[in-house]
Amino acid sequence: MRNYEFTVIFDANEEKMKEGLAFVTQQLEKAGAQITKQEDLGVKTLAYQINKQDKGHYVYFELEADPKSIAPLSHVFQLSTLVMKYLFVNPEK
C-alpha cells in the first residue's frame, strides 16, 4: 500500500456534486483504497472551461491504495460523466 493524494473536480451543482462524490467514494472503496482524509474545498472558479463550465466543486482526499489499483481507477474516472477532472499524486516521490 502506498499513500496518494487525490483531487477531484465535480460540477458546481450541489446535487451533481453529491452524486459524483458518492460514486468516487464507492469506486475507491471497491478498489480497496483506504481514505485517511477527505476535505471539501468548495466551489472555485476554473482556470479554463471544462465541459462548458466556469466553476467546479473541489474535493481533496488522502488515501492508501495498492499501486496496481490506480490505473483502473483512473480509467473509470476518465469515462465517468460525474467527474470533470481528477489527479492522483504520490507525495513520496
User: What global pTM score does this model have?
Assistant: 0.91
Count up the domains in the chain and report the number: 1
- The answer to whether residue 18 sits within a structural domain is yes
pLDDT tens for each residue of 42-82 = 999 999 999 899 999 999 999 999 999 999 999 999 999 99
Contact 64, 36 (CB under 8 A): yes
Where does residue 70 rank: exposed (0-12), middle (13-18), buried (19+ CB within 10 A)? middle
- The answer to whether residue 53 sits within a structural domain is yes
- Is the pLDDT at 93 greater than 80, yes or no? no
- The answer to whether residue 27 sits within a structural domain is yes
| Domain membership of residue 46 as a residue range | 12-57
- The answer to whether residue 32 sits within a structural domain is yes
Nearest Cα to Cα of residue 90 among 78, 75, 74: 74
- The answer to whether residue 16 sits within a structural domain is yes
Identify the helix (H) or strand (E) that includes residue 48.
strand 34-50
- The answer to whether residue 88 sits within a structural domain is no
pLDDT tens for each residue of 2-48 = 999 999 999 999 999 999 999 999 999 999 999 999 999 999 999 99
